[in-house]
Amino acid sequence: MTPAARVQTAIELLDAIIAAARGKGAPADRILAEWFRANRFAGSKDRRAIRELVYRTIRACGPVPASGRGAMLRLAETDPAIPPLFDGSQYGPAPIDAGEEPAAGGVAPDWLVERLARSGVEGERAEALLGRAPLDLRVNALKAERATLDLPEPAEPTAAPHGLRVATGTAVERWPQWADGLIEVQDTGSQLACLALAAQPGETVVDLCAGGGGKTLALAAAMDNQGRLIAADTDRNRLSRLAPRAERAGASLIETRLLDPGRELEALGDLAGLADAVLVDAPCSGTGTWRRNPEARWRLDETELARLAQLQAHILDLAVALLKPGGRLVYVTCTLLDAEGADQFEALLARHPQLAAQPLALSLGRERGQGTRLTPLHDGTDGFFIACAASAC
């Protein structure tokens, strides 16, 4: 493909991504994967160049663009190599008209920029949300040690005790160490969130929003395969991915529970009042993960944010019902909005006076409310809010 043809293809893919964002359709990575699968004529260099163009363009736009062409024109304002490619060639984009307006730049839609600012995220802190995410690994302590693990490519230790950082784009899934369960891909901030729970061998621990099980596997390693570890979620598809991952990791103590939304205690009733620790990695807006999913800014609206906050409160109340006297709860969200972080945790403590906030001794992060916030700018991790509460004995 010519450079101009790559630009035109990126524009067409951006049109699909914009439409999907407005209609809550498929995410950008899936749209790209499906296009590449259906258009085998695009070689590996073409695919890499198109993907790069698409994501650079998404990051360059703040509000949802009117069109893929407008979005690409926004990128052209900052990249002098792009305007000449609007050359009207057979597979390239039409020349730029004098009156054409590029899409607006910025960090996010205006209402969301304002919400971030009210949560103390503006200026450099906000701009850092659109940088490039590193690729972090967690060494599986059930099978290996960070100090002695030999990897095919260079890796630097992170602030997490089992964390390593490799070059972005490294195909770690092709490594034998990944196939043998010695490593997992996991952001350093996510690893620290698991450490905040301080899961111990022999305890009864519940991962209440387990999803695909990344944090569950970290908890299994911390527990040294001793005790009970229940991974629960309402998403059957995501939860089904845990079993093969657990087998590869050698995590043998994990039990899974599929939950019915709104009727979760029917599947968890036998654990009520018995859990030593509950991890609530609640569904959230994902503002802390924009470096990986920049088009997520275009999917969020105030109605969805309110729905998520209500869901988080419901899940937290459910977690409290599972705690034994003296048990502890860790609340984690990959967001930087106080409505889903510090404010949500304050409301939990107000609803449940038997809970008391507990200090966290994490190697990264800054105090936010009664918890800790991790940010891409200050910590080099995804954005997280992490807080711990203990139930009275």
Helix 242-249 vs helix 214-222: angle between axes, to the nearest 10 degrees? 30
Closest to 373 in 3D by CA, of 210, 195, 160, 193? 193
Joined together, the tokens standing for residue 31 give 């749209």
Joined together, the tokens standing for residue 279 give 């991890």
Joined together, the tokens standing for residue 185 give 């891909």
| Sign of the Cα pseudo-torsion (280, 281, 284, 285, in order) | positive
Any catalytic annotation for residue 388? Answer: no
Q: Can you tell me the distance from the alpha carbon of 113 to that of 212, in angstroms, rounded to the nearest whole number?
A: 30
| Structural element, H or E, at residue 39 | none
Closest to 136 in 3D by CA, of 160, 114, 113? 160
Concatenated DSSP letters of 210-231: -TTSHHHHHHHHHTTT-SEEEE
Closest to 287 in 3D by CA, of 382, 186, 387? 382
187 annotated among ligand-binding-site residues: no
R_g of the chain computed on alpha carbons? 22
The residue annotated as part of the active site, out of 61, 284, 334, 388, is 334
Q: What is the DSSP letter of 83?
A: G
C-alpha distance from residue 53 to each of 12, 27, 47, 82 (Å): 12, 16, 10, 10
SS3 per residue for 261-329: CCCCHHHHHHHCCCEEEEEEECCCCCHHHCCCCCCHHHHCCHHHHHHHHHHHHHHHHHHHHHEEEEEEE
Burial class (CB in 10 A: 0-12, 13-18, 19+), 109: middle
CB atoms within 10 A of CB 360: 19
Q: What is the DSSP letter of 99?
A: T
343 annotated among ligand-binding-site residues: no
CB atoms within 10 A of CB 182: 22
317 annotated among ligand-binding-site residues: no
Please identify every residue annotated as catalytic.
Answer: 334
Binding residues for S-adenosyl-L-methionine: 233, 260, 281
Binding residues: 233, 260, 281
